[in-house]
Every structure is written in C-alpha cells, then in structure tokens.
Structure 1
Amino acid sequence: MSSPQPPSPLLKLLLDFGPLLLFFLVYGRSDLYTATAVLMVASAVSFGGLWRLERRMPVMPLVNVVLVSVFGGLTLWLADETFIKMKPTLIYALFALILAGGRLLGRQPLRVVFGPMMSLQEKGWTLLTWRWAAFFLFLAGVNEIAWRVLTTDQWVTLKTFGFIPIVMLFALTQAPLMTRYKLLEETDSPRS
C-alpha cells in the first residue's frame, strides 16, 4: 500500500484558513453568533478534509476544532460572545504551555512537528522552541487585551487579518536562527 500524497499547497491553505475567512465573511453580512455557527461547521469540515487527505490525525487542527466547538457552543448556548473571543487566548496559551512544558521535560516539541521538514542542531531546536513559546504567550496577552478594549468589529478584523500576518512575520524572523543551527546534510561536505 502506497503512502498518502500530501495535499496540494492551495488545498492545504484553503483547509487551514477557509473556516476563518468564512467566519469573517459571514460576520460582515450577519452577526457574531451566525458567524460562530459557520466557523464551527467549517472547522469540522476542514478537519475532516485534512484527516481524509493526510490519512493521519492532524493534531493542531484537532485542537482547534475541539476548542472552536466548545467555545463556539458556549457562545451560542449562553448567547455570550465572550467565549468565542477567549478561544484564541486559550489556543495561544495552550501552544505556549505545550512548548515550554515539553522543553522543561527535556523534549523538543517543535522537532516532533517540524523534524521531517528541517534538521536543526539540538541548541537550534531549543532556542526556536523557547522563542515560539514566548511568542504564543505574547499573542495570548494581545488577544486578552484586544477582546476587552476593542469593539466586536475591530476584534473580528484583528483575529482574521492581524494575527495570521503577525505569526507569519514572526516565523520569517526565525529564519536566521534556523540557518545558523541547520544540520549539514549527510551528502554535504563540511566547510573548511
């Protein structure tokens, strides 16, 4: 039996960010409660699509769909938008906790996720993990402040169009660290 082919980058992008984009579009035409219901359904469909395409349990989308379901469900059931606004805080704090906890236990959580895509020296994985843990903690704080001081319209715009570019920009700033600690391929000759 052959191993599954990875989904095309465009399809993966659609499955990863489609639910959030639908949330924003529906919110612009309706209200936060309708947008939340759409986000819940779209997240579940996206998770199912990723699971089917990759033929493995995608952990990060699973965490997201569980939290969207729980906090979206509480938002709809109690008619209180606070819960859906708190979800990003909890996701970012959970990521920070997993990364920092993994390092404190002597593990390299980022290597588990990204090891097949890149090879870094042990010190590189450690530095990268601590940086991402601190960054996710920062994002959790930003969201906590944002949902408390911004209007719902402003918060939805920040959630949709602010956090993703901030995460991508932070990832790009990590390129020098990853280059500095990249392991030489076995076929590469050491530089003299």
Structure 2
Amino acid sequence: MKQLLDFLPLIIFFAVYKFADIYIASGALIVATSIQLIITYYLYRKVEKMLLVTFAMVTVFGTLTILLHDENFIKWKVTFIYILFAGILAGSQLMNRSVIKSMLGKEMVVPDLVWKRVTWYWAAFFLACAIGNIYVAFNLPLETWVNFKVFGLTALSLINTVLTIVYLFRYLPEEQKKDD
C-alpha cells in the first residue's frame, strides 16, 4: 500500500500531462501530493520528513508553474529535491551521522564503513540525477523531460535501491542472512 501511495502523485502527474498539459498536470501533482500526505497520516498517524519536504517543494514550484505559466519551475523542482537529498546525505556523513544508517541500521547490522560508502554513493547518485535533470529539462523537448522524470529517474532509483540492498547484504552477519 505504501509503495502505491509513493508513486500515486507521479502516476497522476504523468496521466494528466498526457491528456492535458504541463500546467494542469502541475496542479494535479499538487492535489495528488496533498492527498498522499492526508492518506499517509490517516493510515500511519505520522508523515515522514521527506514527504513533507516533497509536498512543500511540489506546492511552491507547482504553484509558480501555474501562476507564472512557466514550465521551468516544475522542471527545477526535481533538481532542487535531488540537490537537497544529496546535501542532507553528504552533510549527515560529514557529521558522522549517516541518515541511511539511522533509517536502516536497526534492520541491517553492517560495519560503519559500509554505511559511509552507501551514504556517499547515494549523495553522488542524487547529485548526478540533479545534473541529468538539468540537462534533459533544458536541452530536450518537454515530452522527453516528462518521460525522463517519470520513467528514467524512477527506474534509476529502483535499480540503485536494489544494488544498495545487494551490497549491504554482502556485509550482513551470517545469522542475520539466515533470518531474512
């Protein structure tokens, strides 16, 4: 259920874009993210900070896109979110407090050096996604950017999640591997 909730705004954005335009799709994204926030709170009685940050950015950049009738704002939203995530991960690692370890460290016990590598890897990945988004958003047609955002960045994130799990699994103690 949670995975469907995570992808719902993206699916709605894409569908509305295909049947309407970027401005109506931006409005639909704001509404869908609002609904996602409400449903998440209703089901789990809490909302993750990442969802709140995403909601705020979607609302600000989506509203600017609609009010100023300028598609560039919604394109920049993606870049800013990825830069923010990269910055949070890099900053947490520089303070020796890996955000990824704090999220997954209870389920997966691996050496701190492994958490450090994974954190830096994801920070670099998010930075690369931000740079890739800038290139595609401002050098290729809008249609290409929408497809890249919806399918390309989503697929890259899923692939990197699987690669991270495989990498982490290599360092799990044998008794923890048997429990999984």
Q: TM-score if structure 1 supplies the norm length?
A: 0.87
Which residue number in structure 2 is paired with residue 169 of structure 1? 159
* 3-state SS of paired residue (2:65): helix
Distance in 2 (CA, whole Å) between partners of 1:116 and 1:40 is: 34
User: Which structure has the highest helix share of the two?
Assistant: 2
Matching residue's letter, 1:103: Q
Contact 1:121 1:183 (C-alpha < 8 Å) held by counterparts: no
Distance in 2 (CA, whole Å) between partners of 1:103 and 1:150 is: 35
Matching residue's letter, 1:74: L
Matching residue's letter, 2:116: T
Q: TM-score if structure 2 supplies the norm length?
A: 0.92
- The C-alpha deviation readout for 1:63-121, integer Å capped at 9, x for no partner, is 11111001001111111110000111111111100000001111111112223332222
**1:43 and 2:33 aligned:** yes
Which residue number in structure 2 is paired with residue 117 of structure 1? 107
Distance in 2 (CA, whole Å) between partners of 1:97 and 1:159 is: 20
- The C-alpha deviation readout for 1:2-58, integer Å capped at 9, x for no partner, is xxxxxxxxx212210011101111111101000000000000110111122122221
Matching residue's letter, 1:125: W
1:59 CA drift (Å): 1.5
Larger Rg: 1
* 3-state SS of paired residue (1:162): helix
More deviation, 156-165/176-185: 176-185
Structure 1 residue runs of 4 or more that deviate by more than 3 Å after TM superposition: 183-186
Distance in 2 (CA, whole Å) between partners of 1:108 and 1:183 is: 20
1:163 CA drift (Å): 0.7
1:185 CA drift (Å): 4.9
**1:94 and 2:84 aligned:** yes
Which residue number in structure 1 is paired with residue 141 of structure 2? 151
Q: Is the alpha carbon distance of 1:95 and 1:183 closer, same or farther for their aligned partners in structure 2, counting shifts above 3 Å?
A: farther
Distance in 1 (CA, whole Å) between partners of 2:46 and 2:7 is: 19
Which residue number in structure 1 is paired with residue 75 of structure 2? 85
Distance in 1 (CA, whole Å) between partners of 2:151 and 2:80 is: 19
Matching residue's letter, 2:90: A
- The C-alpha deviation readout for 1:157-184, integer Å capped at 9, x for no partner, is 1111111111111222223420232245
Pairing of 1:1-192 with structure 2 (within 5 A): 11-183=1-173, 185=175
Query: Alignment RMSD, CA only?
Result: 1.7
Paired residues, what number? 178
Contact 2:37 2:47 (C-alpha < 8 Å) held by counterparts: no
Unaligned runs of 5+ in 2: none
Contact 1:50 1:58 (C-alpha < 8 Å) held by counterparts: no
Unaligned runs of 5+ in 1: 1-10
Distance in 2 (CA, whole Å) between partners of 1:117 and 1:45 is: 30
